[in-house]
Chains A and B, each alone.
Chain A
């Protein structure tokens, strides 16, 4: 609908107007947008020239005009074992988060939709949403309080039940489940909102008809709610797939920090770029790794957005 209107409009406006005249005519509008335009220019577009650093041997004296080094920074990265490790970790962690996050959010939405007691629903939803607003730094201390070896709640419980203490922070094997639980715990209350809204948009008449035809509650969920929810799920999953090459720096750096035992499993590209930059002090190497992420990430995000826009014209934000 909106597209049609836009087309007619542009057709009408084929009368060419000089850019200066247009800017002058709507000077107030452009002035309003100017701060945002300038900000974006400085913090996004002005960063682009610095990409050249990836192909140089960076020196703080010469800055961006450092000696050319070809692809040596990339070669160094891709020859190290970390290239594969961080790529795999980023993908594995994100895929796990994506699957568990989506399944839990949809399930929770379906369940919450069956809760008819208004008060109960409101209170429990408030409780579920709360972790979303708390920073990962605080969550990391909370986690230490639960998993800590000497004072941790869980270890105390294990000991009181007659078990042996587990040193979680030195046992990588536990960490994918732990990260997964944390992610679900923190974000499900929030991401479920969108599915609840989609369910609320479903026509009541369909349910009534199914009810009259004798469909059970379970069948109504399976044959009505889920299929009608499918487009929303597809959009959300696609958007997440687009972001699959970007690790959650805020989460992983706050929780894993510099724990070298857990790093082989939990170091993602983002934290690795940061660590390389901080520890080696070599911006060129760090930039090369960052560029690898930006390029692959861009292709994925762009493709995902493109598919969403083609398949679900109402769902895309742009």
Chain B
């Protein structure tokens, strides 16, 4: 009897609440919508300004609705004297080469640390862990890089700091550890060698986590400007981010060229910055569906599995 009364009570309060609930639901959707919009609008602005004519930017400032559209900035981007194509090549090369090597190195270490046969795995874990909690800092790092010859060349962009992260290694280790050890044993009984077990059995099984860390590395390489700021003076080895960072000098040089060649009194400056930003973001936009999927996975695995 009592329980029936309570159920009726619940039903009644639900009816009474429904108006309030509806308002709450609306508010929730509205807040989410607003925040999502705020996250994306600045990028829309960047794209629009990159297609605006310089005159309309000077007159009206940055605007979502430019008075005049123009491809001038993109034309300047691909002028023969422009450093952007070269920087694009340098960055792509560093990203692809670095990501491949980094992922392999990380898989190797993570696989070994997860393997029960390896008696020194705890010692090795500690060896890597120490570097995560203590770092000697900028100056020693700089001196080591210089002593190794990672200075003012493509190696400076690939090798230091970016090519291995213990954090990613522990992600791989935890993933491998969760694969039943029986798999290893049965493969051994079937006569598979150690190389085969590692690369033909475990490597494909680890694809989800490997995709995650490969994307971690790739984003790290693509967005990195620290290595270039610290270790590169020669503008031949500027990455896109570094070029963007120092774009003022590029704009002055190209602007003079552009106005000289095409008799333009007002070379695109602001729109040039934005156009360079747009093509720098390009690959990230293209890879975005993968990025989202695997970053979410990696974050969840890294946090929850432990």
A residues bordering B, Cβ < 8 Å?
Answer: 9, 13, 17, 22, 25-26, 28-30, 32-37, 39-40, 42-51, 53, 108, 111-112, 114-115, 117, 120-121, 123-138, 141-142, 145-146, 148, 150-153, 155-156, 185, 188-190, 193-194, 197-198, 201, 212, 214, 216-218, 232, 249-250, 253-254, 270, 273-274, 277, 283, 286-287, 290-291, 293-294, 298, 301-302, 305, 314-318
> Given A131-B39, A193-B299, are A302 and B133 also a contact pair (CB < 8 Å)?
yes
CB distance from A104 to the nearest CB of B (A): 9
Contact B61 A32 (CB under 8 A): no
Contact A33 B113 (CB under 8 A): yes
8 tightest Cβ-Cβ pairs between the two chains A and B? A290-B137, A50-B140, A36-B109, A47-B140, A135-B223, A32-B108, A124-B36, A33-B112
Write out the residue numbers on chain A whose beta carbons fall within 8 Å of the beta carbon of B139.
50, 53, 273, 277, 283, 286-287, 290
> Given A22-B120, A151-B57, A317-B170, are A214 and B13 also a contact pair (CB < 8 Å)?
yes
Write out the residue numbers on chain B whose beta carbons fall within 8 Å of the beta carbon of A151.
57-58, 61-62, 270
Chain B at the A interface: SS class = helix
> Given A151-B62, A317-B302, are A47 and B141 also a contact pair (CB < 8 Å)?
yes
Contact B32 A115 (CB under 8 A): yes
Contact B241 A137 (CB under 8 A): yes
Contact A153 B39 (CB under 8 A): no
Q: Name A287's contact: one of B46, B106, B140 (CB within 8 Å).
A: B140
B155 in contact (CB, < 8 A): no
B102-129 vs A, CB cutoff 8 Å, 1 = contact: the mask equals 0011101101110111111000110111
Tell me the bound Cα distance from A294 to B46 in angstroms. 38
Q: Which of B71-79, B142-150, B205-213, B253-261 contacts A (4 or more CB under 8 A)?
A: B142-150
Q: Name B296's contact: one of A115, A193, A314 (CB within 8 Å).
A: A193
B82 in contact (CB, < 8 A): no
Tell me the bound Cα distance from A197 to B106 in angstroms. 26
Write out the residue numbers on chain A whose beta carbons fall within 8 Å of the beta carbon of B142.
277, 283
Q: Which of B61-98 contact A (CB under 8 A)?
A: 61-63
Q: Which of B250-306 contact A (CB under 8 A)?
A: 270, 273-274, 277, 280-281, 284, 288, 291-292, 295-296, 299-300, 302-304, 306
Write out the residue numbers on chain B whose beta carbons fall within 8 Å of the beta carbon of A253.
229
Having A291-B136, A294-B135, one finds 8 other A-B pairs with CB under 8 Å, namely: A28-B198, A40-B164, A47-B143, A48-B140, A51-B140, A274-B230, A286-B139, A298-B134
The chain A residue with its CB closest to the CB of B125 is A318
Tell me the bound Cα distance from A298 to B241 in angstroms. 30
The chain A residue with its CB closest to the CB of B306 is A314
Write out the residue numbers on chain B whose beta carbons fall within 8 Å of the beta carbon of A111.
28, 31-32
Q: Which of B6-26 contact A (CB under 8 A)?
A: 6, 9-10, 13, 17, 21, 24-25
CB distance from B29 to the nearest CB of A (A): 7
Tell me the bound Cα distance from A129 to B115 in angstroms. 35
Write out the residue numbers on chain B whose beta carbons fall within 8 Å of the beta carbon of A124.
32-33, 35-36
Contact A153 B61 (CB under 8 A): yes
Tell me the bound Cα distance from A318 to B115 in angstroms. 16
B229-243 vs A, CB cutoff 8 Å, 1 = contact: the mask equals 110000000000100
Write out the residue numbers on chain B whose beta carbons fall within 8 Å of the beta carbon of A117.
29
B100 in contact (CB, < 8 A): no
Contact A33 B303 (CB under 8 A): no
Contact B133 A135 (CB under 8 A): no
Tell me the bound Cα distance from A133 to B222 in angstroms. 10
Write out the residue numbers on chain A whose beta carbons fall within 8 Å of the beta carbon of B105.
35-36, 39
Q: Name A189's contact: one of B39, B113, B140, B304 (CB within 8 Å).
A: B39
Contact A214 B112 (CB under 8 A): no
CB distance from B124 to the nearest CB of A (A): 7
Q: Name A40's contact: one of B63, B108, B120, B166 (CB within 8 Å).
A: B166
Q: Name B170's contact: one of A114, A123, A188, A318 (CB within 8 Å).
A: A318
> Given A130-B288, A316-B306, A317-B302, are A141 and B244 also a contact pair (CB < 8 Å)?
yes
> Given A114-B28, A291-B137, A293-B137, are A22 and B119 also a contact pair (CB < 8 Å)?
yes
Contact A17 B300 (CB under 8 A): no
Most buried by A among B9, B124, B277: B277
A-B contact pairs, 19 of them (CB 8 A): A26-B118, A34-B108, A36-B109, A50-B140, A112-B32, A117-B29, A124-B32, A124-B33, A130-B39, A145-B45, A145-B274, A148-B61, A151-B57, A198-B304, A217-B24, A254-B245, A291-B137, A298-B133, A318-B170
Q: Name B118's contact: one of A30, A40, A189 (CB within 8 Å).
A: A30
Tell me the bound Cα distance from A17 to B120 in angstroms. 11
Contact A43 B63 (CB under 8 A): no
Write out the residue numbers on chain B whose beta carbons fall within 8 Å of the beta carbon of A274.
138, 230
CB distance from B275 to the nearest CB of A (A): 11
